Amino acid sequence: MSKKVLFLCSGAGGNLRFLHLAIKKGWLPGWEHISVITDRDCPAGDYAEREGLPVACVDFVEDQQEKLLNQAKAWSPDIIITTVHRILGATFLEEFDGRLINLHYSLLPAFAGSIGASPVRAAMKYGVCLGGATVHRVTGVLDGGHPQAQIAFPVTPDDLLEELMDIEFRAGCIILLAAFLTLKNDAKKNSGNSQNGMVLTIKSRNALLNPAALLPSELFEEGFWLSIK
């Protein structure tokens, strides 16, 4: 039986484009359907329309998110990726408990509570030696759910935000793929913890990914990343 992903989006939709391409390339056997809900007009919604993906724009504030809940239930997702710049209400969280995951650009619990580039800026200002990204279960505690996958890489005082954000984006896509390869469709029960993880290279930087996953060779080719920008 084919499985379904629902993206909740507010922005450029880079992770949406990546996962859609991963499914088309056959990197995620069994995952065949992607639908998209946005909370505003945004490039993610535009991409979904161009690609013929089911898409709806919903006000996340109106009616205690009843319209959002009904639309999500209508598409019966197996996993929901919450890359949206909104807080999800208790009713929505309860309805989809165990099926909600989020991608955050830090090694949680460090620099929790912000989105996009904000945690990266905060980490740079603090002077961290390691940056990273986390795929975690979504709960009622903001950025407080258990990690499903994490990746860490070196950061230096000479790094520029634009360069780090490119590394973060690639790292985030990789752990999103790793999470899907290891989730077994149960975000509640599966942990990202494994004994050894794996070492990989992102733009000439060694990175440690946990859990380890069999990754396509294209992820280590510059042309691939240029193709999804």
> pLDDT tens across 50-96, in order?
999 999 999 988 888 999 999 999 999 999 999 888 889 999 999 99
Please indicate whether residue 143 is annotated as part of the active site: yes
User: Where are the strands (E) in 78-168, listed by range?
Assistant: 79-83, 100-104, 130-137, 147-154
> In this structure, what is the dihedral angle of CA atoms 160, 161, 167, 173, given to the nearest 10 degrees?
180
Question: What is the chain's alpha carbon radius of gyration, rounded to the nearest angstrom?
Answer: 17
CATH topology of domain 101-229: Rossmann fold (3.40.50)
Sole residue written with tokens 């996958």: 149
Domain ranges of the chain: 1-96, 101-229
pLDDT tens-digit map of 141-194: 989 999 999 999 999 999 999 999 999 999 999 999 999 988 754 444 444 556
Tell me the C-alpha to C-alpha distance, in Å, between residue 29 and each of 26, 105, 177, 221: 6, 26, 12, 22
The catalytic position among 78, 97, 143, 158 is 143
Asked whether the domain spanning 101-229 has the same topology as the one spanning 1-96, the reply is yes
CATH of 1-96, one of 3.30.930.10, 1.10.8.60, 3.40.50.170, 3.30.300.30: 3.40.50.170
